[in-house]
Amino acid sequence: MTELSSTTDSNADRKELLKFNGVGKWYGNFCALWDINLTVHKGERVVVCGPSGSGKSTMIRCVNLLESYEAGEILIDGSPIKNDPKSMQVIRRRVGMVFQNFNLFPHVTVLQNLMLGPIRNLKVSKKEAEETAMHYLEKVRIAEQAKKYPSQLSGGQQQRVAIARSLCMHPEAMLFDEPTSALDPEMISGVLDIMVELAEGGMTMMVVTHEMGFAKQVADTMVFMDHGEIVEVAPPAEFFTKPKSDRTELFLSQILQH
Amino acid sequence: MNETRLPPPAEKVRRVTNLDIAIIASVIAILVFIYYRVEHVLVYNWNWGLIFEYVIRIDEATGDILPNLFLKGVAMTLRLAFWGTLIAAVIGIVMGLCRVSNNLFLKIGSRLYVELIRNIPPVVFIFVFYFFISSQIIPLLGLDNIEKTFSPTTLAVMRVLFGPTELFTNFLAGLICLAVFEGAYITEIVRAGIQAIGKGQWEAARAIGLSRYHVLRDVIMPQALKTILPPLAGQFITLVKDSSIVSLISVQELTFLTQDVSNTTTHFFEAWIVTAALYFMMCFPLAVLFQRFERSGMGMQKH
Ligand SMILES: Nc1ncnc2c1ncn2[C@@H]1O[C@H](COP(=O)(O)OP(=O)(O)OP(=O)(O)O)[C@@H](O)[C@H]1O
Ligand SMILES: [Mg+2]
């Protein structure tokens, strides 16, 4: 625990990779995000939690512009992320995303799922794309399934493929939106193991999850959201033992009961 | 797993029930009644031989067997159907993409196109549009009397592809009408096919940085095609049948030529029965063929 909080302290001399500056988003009159301010340093692992509908998904989806936002800005390496098609392609190359429902492309093989992004966006050759793909498939321990179609894989395997697909773009940061929520319990650890390895490898990560065990293990920073706002940002040692906000405490008591 | 655990053999139920007997009896009764009406009440003088001469005729000078009006009509209908489907498919795909586009102008334009055509009777549409095409579009494209500019070989190929050269402009007008008309229905098929693909596929494709073009080309369309192809095949059959409406603007396809035959011979029944049979012979095999394809997954690799 002490070791984890010391990591957070060392953020001071790390480079700021992602920075939310007063981000706000509305669906009509409904405010989904309000005044989001958050800094994610290079190599930092941020775990986001909060009740359903609190805006966790919306917040991380703003980073790679799967959602647009009306107020504020998000900076990457100090420069604002613009929303013209060209900049969108660039930000999506630099920041990968893993979804709750894997969203693999069902009409092509696992290998082709991984090769598509690099070939189209990074403009690498087929051969190079295939080598990269096989490299990451080995990393997620699924290389022998390369020639199969997604539907022939278990949920856990599919999610590992989805992680590998993101990694093939050589992203500087990865966003995870409840990556284990759609999995059968026995599949969860396989996916979490991969994510722990990624974290240990120094990947900058923003993870929305209810897996508090994972959070305690890898998080440098915990973020608690409610009603579209960030209620609390704290290193896990503090977050789990002496949360500042009552809402955080209530949420944690509910979630840790299970 | 225990390999000997086979499912019980399926029992084939093929018993004739009372209902079957009742149905067969009423069908026979109806046929007998029709025969009676035609033979004894209508007093119609059947002459099938005369009509069949309009299907194929034997050239008196050379003894060659030549296609006559009916078969020429079939050929023209097939040309209309073939080119019509190609053009309508292109229109349908382009307009279908416009329907799901983010661009408001494209969205409204394509919607307007579809709604206009779906809410006007085909006959009315054909007359309005034909006038517009033949008097405006074809001269504008410089396609009137275009046949005079071709070499003999080109003309021979053109004859196979588009029918008699002297009717080329007329054929083209009919073809464009038909394609624009059917294109609206294909637009809706394409739109439905694209919209059937889940939001997650769009997001995953965008999240790996694909441009909108590549999202559609590499991820959405290949999947949508599986949903699109069966109704598209059905629409092709519909197009074969709908092609009869261009007879109204004197395109010399099957229906138009049948009117000719029935007027000159005054043997309406035979002429139209032959035509009905010819349409059926064009459409039914297609229907069976498409069903086959559909069952084998449209011939696409599944896994
Ligand atoms: N397309 C939309 N239109 C209207 N409201 C939306 C839309 N998408 C999300 N919302 C609303 O925005 C709020 C935040 O949604 P979001 O998906 O970010 O929540 P979340 O914290 O990820 O919840 P969960 O844990 O259930 O995934 C919710 O109240 C949701 O109802
Ligand atoms: Mg969510």
Q: What is the CATH number of the domain that holds B195?
A: 1.10.3720.10
Q: Is residue B143 part of a domain?
A: yes
- CA–CA distances in Å: residue A5 to residues A9, A212, A234, B280: 7, 16, 9, 79
Mean pLDDT in residue range B124-138: 82
Closest listed residue to residue A65, CA positions, set A18, A7, A117, A13: A18
Q: Which helix (H) or strand (E) holds A6?
A: helix A2-9
Atom of ligand 1 nearest to the CA of A208: 22
Q: What percent of chain B has pLDDT over 70?
A: 92
Q: What is the CA radius of gyration of chain A?
A: 18
pLDDT at B284 over 90: yes
* Ligand index nearest the alpha carbon of residue A226: 1
Note the pLDDT of residue A2: 39
Task: Tokens 């296609």: give the residue.
Answer: B67
| Ligand 1 pocket member A52 (CB < 6 A) | yes
pLDDT of residue A167: 96
pLDDT, one tens digit for every residue, chain A (258 residues): 334 444 445 555 688 999 999 999 999 999 999 999 999 999 999 999 999 999 999 999 999 999 999 999 999 999 999 989 899 999 999 999 999 999 999 999 999 999 999 999 999 999 999 999 999 999 999 999 999 999 999 999 999 999 999 999 999 999 999 999 999 999 999 999 999 999 999 999 999 999 999 999 999 999 999 999 999 999 999 999 999 999 999 999 988 775
Pocket flag, ligand 1, residue A209 (CB < 6 Å): no
Beta bridge partners of B66: B57
Q: Is A230 in the pocket of ligand 1 (CB under 6 A)?
A: no
Query: What pTM does this model have?
Result: 0.81
Q: ipTM, 2 decimals?
A: 0.90
Distance A239 CA to ligand 1 centre (A): 24
CA angle centred on B264, ends B259 and B269, rounded to 5°: 60
Digit-coded pLDDT (tens) for B26-49: 999 999 998 888 777 777 777 888
Contact assignment for B204 to A85 by CB distance below 8 Å: no
CA dihedral of B103, B105, B106, B110, whole degrees rounded to 10 = 140
Write the pLDDT tens digit of every residue in A73-127: 999 999 999 989 899 999 999 999 999 999 999 999 999 999 999 999 999 999 9
Buried residues in B247-278 as b, exposed as e (16+ CB within 10 A): bbbebbbbbbbbbbbbeeeebeebbbebbeeb
| Per-residue model confidence (pLDDT) at position A56 | 96
Residue A206 β-bridge partners: A46, A175
Alpha-carbon distance of A23 to B264, in angstroms, equals 80
Residue B39 lies in a domain: no
Indicate if the pLDDT at residue B188 is higher than 90: yes
Residues 6+ apart with CB under 8 A from B58: B64, B65, B66
**Inside any domain, residue B4:** no
Does residue B62 lie in a domain region?
A: no
Is residue A140 packed enough to be buried (19+ CB in 10 Å), middle (13-18) or exposed (0-12)? buried
Side by side, the strands of the sheet bearing A229-234 are A95-98, A173-177, A204-208, A45-49, A221-226, A229-234
Looking at the 3D structure of chain B, how many domains does it have? 1
Contact A128, A118 (CB under 8 A): yes
- Measured distance CA(A24)–CA(A3) in Å, rounded: 34
Structural domain of residue B89, as residue ranges?
74-246
Residues contacting residue B295 through CB under 8 Å, at least 6 positions apart: none
Confidence of residue B142 (pLDDT cuts 50, 70, 90): confident
Residue B20 within any structural domain of the chain: no
pLDDT of residue B96: 95
How high is the mean pLDDT of chain B? 85
If you average pLDDT over each of B10-14, B135-139, B249-253, which comes out highest?
Answer: B249-253
Token pair in block for residue A66: 């799967």
C-alpha to C-alpha distance for B225 and A107, rounded to whole angstroms: 11
Q: What is the pLDDT of residue B303?
A: 40
B286: in domain:
no
Tell me whether B209 touches chain A (CB under 8 Å): yes
